[in-house]
C-alpha cells in the first residue's frame, strides 16, 4: 500500500470506535482506490462502545451476528481478509458455539464472508479450548497483547496456539519502548542490539516478535515510520540471532506489564474485557518501569485505534 494511503487510514481513525474506524477506512479506500491486493484488511466483531469509547461490555446477540457482519462490510465497502471476535465477552455467556456457527455459516459459498478467514482476539486458553472443541472452521489466529513484558504470562496461550496451528498476532508490540524510555532491564539490551543493527529499538522489538513466529500488528500515523515498518518487514529473518532473542527474553521476563490491562474500573458485576493474560494480577500491570509523562491509558487509547500493521493488517 502507498504510504499516503496508510497514513490517511491511520490518522483518520485515531480516537474513534470500531464502527467509525470501519466507516473512515471505507471512505479512505473509496477515495484513494488502492489495489485490493496491495493491502490486508482485518476487522473485528466488537461490542458497542462503552466506557471512554472503549468496547463496551454488552455482548452481540447470536441473532445479531449476521447484521453486525453486514454492517461492517457496508462500512468498509469491501470484504476484509480476516474477521476477528474482538474478545471473548463479545459473545453472550455460554453461547460461543451458536455464535461461532453463525460466523461459520456466513463463510459458506454465496454468503457475505465467503473467502474471509475467521480469527479471535484476547481469547484465553479456556476460550480457545472451548472453541476448538466444536469449530468446523478453525480460527486462523488469536490477536493478543504480546511483547517481552507479557511473554512469561503468555506461555499457556502460546502453547495452545502452537499445538493447534493457530497463528499469534501481537498487538502492542512496541509497549516496552513506548512505556520505558528511561529505564527498565530491557532497554540496554534493546539499545545494544539496535546499535549493532543500525536500527531503532522499536525495530528490534518487531524483529523479536517475528523471531517468535508471531506477526506484529503495529501502527503509525507518521509516514517516515510507515516506510520504516515496511523496511523492517523485509529484513532478513536471521538478522536477530538466537542469543539476541534469548537476551531479550531474559531481560523482558523481569517486567510484567500489559498496556491493555484487565479492567479495574468496572462496576460490580461487570466482567473484565481484555483477558488474554488472566493470570497476570492487576497490581503487576498498573505501572510500567520508570513511567513516562503519558499515562498508559492515554497513550494506549490513542494507539489502539490506529490501524497500520507490519503485516499490512488493518484492525
Ligand X SMILES: NC(=O)c1ccc[n+]([C@@H]2O[C@H](COP(=O)([O-])OP(=O)(O)OC[C@H]3O[C@@H](n4cnc5c(N)ncnc54)[C@H](OP(=O)(O)O)[C@@H]3O)[C@@H](O)[C@H]2O)c1
| Site residues (vs ligand X, CB under 6 A) | 86, 121-122, 143, 171-175, 177-178, 200, 202, 217-222, 225, 260, 274, 303-304, 306-307, 309, 315
CB of 232 to ligand X, least distance (A): 9
CB of 45 to ligand X, least distance (A): 11
213 vs 224, beta carbon nearer ligand X: 224
34 vs 111, beta carbon nearer ligand X: 34
CB of 279 to ligand X, least distance (A): 18
103 vs 175, beta carbon nearer ligand X: 175
By CB neighbour count within 10 A (0-12 exposed, 13-18 middle, 19+ buried), where does 205 fall? Answer: buried
107 vs 143, beta carbon nearer ligand X: 143
Determine phi and psi for 293, rounding to 5 degrees. Answer: -70, -35
120 vs 160, beta carbon nearer ligand X: 120
Q: Please name the residues in contact with 69: beta carbons below 8 A apart, sequence gap of 6 or more.
A: 45, 83, 103, 106, 112, 113
CB of 311 to ligand X, least distance (A): 10
**Cα 132 vs. chain centroid, distance in angstroms?**
21
CB of 33 to ligand X, least distance (A): 22
CB of 197 to ligand X, least distance (A): 13
111 vs 299, beta carbon nearer ligand X: 299
Amino acid at each position: 500500500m502507498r504510504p499516503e494511503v496508510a497514513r490517511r487510514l491511520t490518522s483518520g481513525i485515531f480516537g474513534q470506535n470500531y464502527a467509525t474506524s470501519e466507516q473512515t477506512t471505507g471512505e479512505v479506500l473509496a477515495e484513494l482506490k488502492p489495489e485490493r491486493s496491495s493491502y490486508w484488511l482485518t476487522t473485528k466483531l466488537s461490542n458497542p462502545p462503552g466506557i471512554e469509547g472503549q468496547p463496551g461490555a454488552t455482548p452481540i446477540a447470536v441473532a445479531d451476528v449476521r447484521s453486525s457482519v453486514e454492517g461492517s462490510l457496508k462500512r468498509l465497502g469491501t470484504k476484509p481478509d480476516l474477521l476477528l471476535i474482538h474478545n471473548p465477552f463479545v459473545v453472550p455467556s455460554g453461547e460461543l458455539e451458536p455464535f461461532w456457527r453463525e460466523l461459520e455459516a456466513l463463510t459458506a459459498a454465496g454468503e457475505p464472508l465467503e473467502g474471509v478467514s475467521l480469527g479471535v482476539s484476547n481469547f484465553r486458553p479456556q476460550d480457545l479450548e472451548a472453541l476448538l472443541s466444536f469449530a468446523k472452521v478453525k480460527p486462523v489466529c488469536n490477536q493478543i497483547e504480546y511483547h517481552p513484558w507479557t511473554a512469561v504470562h503468555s506461555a499457556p496461550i502460546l502453547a495452545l496456539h502452537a499445538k493447534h496451528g493457530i497463528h499469534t498476532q501481537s498487538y502492542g508490540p512496541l509497549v516496552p519502548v513506548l512505556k520505558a524510555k528511561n529505564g527498565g532491564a530491557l532497554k540496554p539490551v534493546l539499545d545494544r542490539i539496535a546499535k549493532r543493527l543500525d536500527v531503532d529499538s522499536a525495530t528490534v522489538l518487531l524483529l523479536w516478535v517475528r523471531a517468535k513466529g508471531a506477526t506484529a500488528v503495529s501502527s503509525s500515523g507518521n509516514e517516515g515510520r510507515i516506510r520504516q515498518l515496511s523496511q523492517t518487514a523485509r529484513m532478513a529473518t536471521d538478522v536477530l540471532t538466537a542469543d539476541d532473542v534469548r537476551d531479550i527474553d531474559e531481560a523482558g521476563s523481569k517486567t510484567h506489564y500489559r498496556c491493555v490491562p484487565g479492567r479495574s474500573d468496572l462496576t460490580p458485576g461487570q466482567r473484565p474485557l481484555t483477558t488474554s493474560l488472566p493470570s497476570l494480577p492487576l497490581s503487576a500491570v498498573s505501572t510500567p518501569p520508570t513511567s513516562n509523562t503519558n499515562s498508559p491509558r492515554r497513550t494506549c487509547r490513542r494507539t489502539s485505534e490506529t490501524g497500520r500493521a507490519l503485516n499490512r493488517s488493518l484492525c
